[in-house]
Amino acid sequence: MSALRRFVDKIKPHFVKGGRFSMFQSTFEGFETFLFVPDTVTSGSVHIRDGNDMKRTMIMVVLALIPALLFGIWNTGYQHFLAVGQEAGFWQMVWFGFLKVLPIIIVSYVVGLGIEFTFAQIRGHEINEGFLVTGMLIPLVVPVDVPLWMVALATAFAVIIGKEVFGGTGMNILNPALTARAFLFFAYPGDMSGDKVWIEGLKNGEGIVDGFSGATLLGQAAQNQTTFLNGIGEPITPFQMFLGNIPGSIGETSTLAILLGAFLLIYTGVGSWKIILSVFAGGALMGWILNIFAVNEFMALPFWQHLILGGFAFGAVFMATDPVTAAQTERGKWIYGFLIGVLAILIRVLNPAYPEGVMLAILFMNVFSPLIDHYVIEANIRKRLKRAKVQAN
């Protein structure tokens, strides 16, 4: 470690102002603070001092994503071997999934960080850390069969239009990872929805078992199917939905793995438990209301099953809690999360064009969160003014 420190100190003079590579100063600084926690301390009137800076916070989210990622890698292999009808061992499935998922992760990081570094050089500010998380979120919310150039394009779109035009990390209105997904969803619907994209190899259809269906459970529910079937026609139990060996985007299927990540986020205080809880509450309530007024099978789907299907849990834990785009006030977080849950189920069940409403619900509430904050603060001011008047009397 100290050798590394010495090396960094040795090359540092070249990168500071006046040095040979001073134009790459932000790049150097980005790597240096990535390797070593900077010793700069907040000065001025900030009252909370914490050794946990943005890079360490972001890494915590990446760590929380690892269970979902690992499960997604295994599930990719599992679904593939189910589709081609071969027996395969555990490690064989993991290896297959790893080879499919790794390129998506690499493309997402290379493109995203490339743009981040370029912007940092042009604008002469520090490298923004936000992409550490975004780069991991993007691969987890796309189907495994998505072409890599589409991932690259969506990442570029999300970083430039979703973030850099607003001024970089911390200034964006919309969650960048969801911006990338929304871009893919609307630009290339053929590769982002339907029942052919979720399982590797289904699209070109070679060696697939006869009659195999790759429809996601939500896709089946939208067809008003009463019992969910996996690809080869076996029924799927709610426990399997919770466990997650069902078709879907890479990281979204396993509610169990997502909850593991959620515990880490809540324990370390990085993710807001209020938002996570209220998203689930909102979703459950809306599902329950739809149950009461059910006129078709989808509306009659037990409300708790909505919470473990599709991207609901993933969105609630990793997308809605994004501290930049979520509501900032404590009461606002309850409102923000609750409305995400309500809207997600509403779009999911009542709009047949969008089988998954979580993405749109979160993006929509991202736009509204400053408004929510505004009214929460206004209400608080009014309340306190009223109290002041009463005391004056």
Partner 1 sequence: MNSDNEPLFSAKNLKLLKEPLGSSNPITVQVLGICSALAVTVKLKPSIVMAISVMAVLAVSNVVISLLRKRIPPRIRIIVQLVVIATMVILVDEILKAFAYEISKQLSVFVGLIITNCIIMGRLEAFAMGNKPWPSLLDGLGNAAGYGLILIIVAFFRELLGSGTILDYQVIPNSFYEFGYVNNGLMILPPMALIVVGIIIWIQRSRNKDLVENR
Judged by the rule CB under 8 A, the positions of this chain that interact with partner 1 are 147, 149-150, 161, 165, 183, 186-191
User: Do residues 341 and 283 make contact, with C-beta atoms less than 8 angstroms apart?
Assistant: yes
Nearest approach, Cβ of 368 to partner 1 (angstroms)? Answer: 17
- State how far the Cα of 294 lies from the Cα of 292, in Å rounded to an integer: 6
What is the C-alpha separation between 101 and 92, in angstroms, rounded?
Answer: 14
**Interatomic CA distance for residues 330 and 251, integer angstroms:** 29
User: What DSSP element (H or E) covers 372?
Assistant: helix 358-392
220 SS3 class: helix
Q: What is the 3-state secondary structure (H, E, C) of 219-272?
A: HHHHCCCCCCECCCCCECCHHHHHHCCCCCCCCCCCHHHHHHHHHHHHHHCCCC
Least Å from the CB of residue 65 to partner 1:
27
Helix or strand holding residue 156 (H, E): helix 148-160
Given a contact cutoff of 8 angstroms between Cβ atoms, the answer to whether 151 and 332 are in contact is: no
Cβ distance 198 to 248 under 8 Å? yes
Which tokens sit at 151? 């991932």
Structure tokens at 231: 């690809």
Q: Of all helices (H) and strands (E), which one includes residue 114?
A: helix 90-123
CA atoms within 13 A on the CB side of 171: 10
Q: Which two structure tokens, joined as six digits, stand for 19?
A: 């040095």
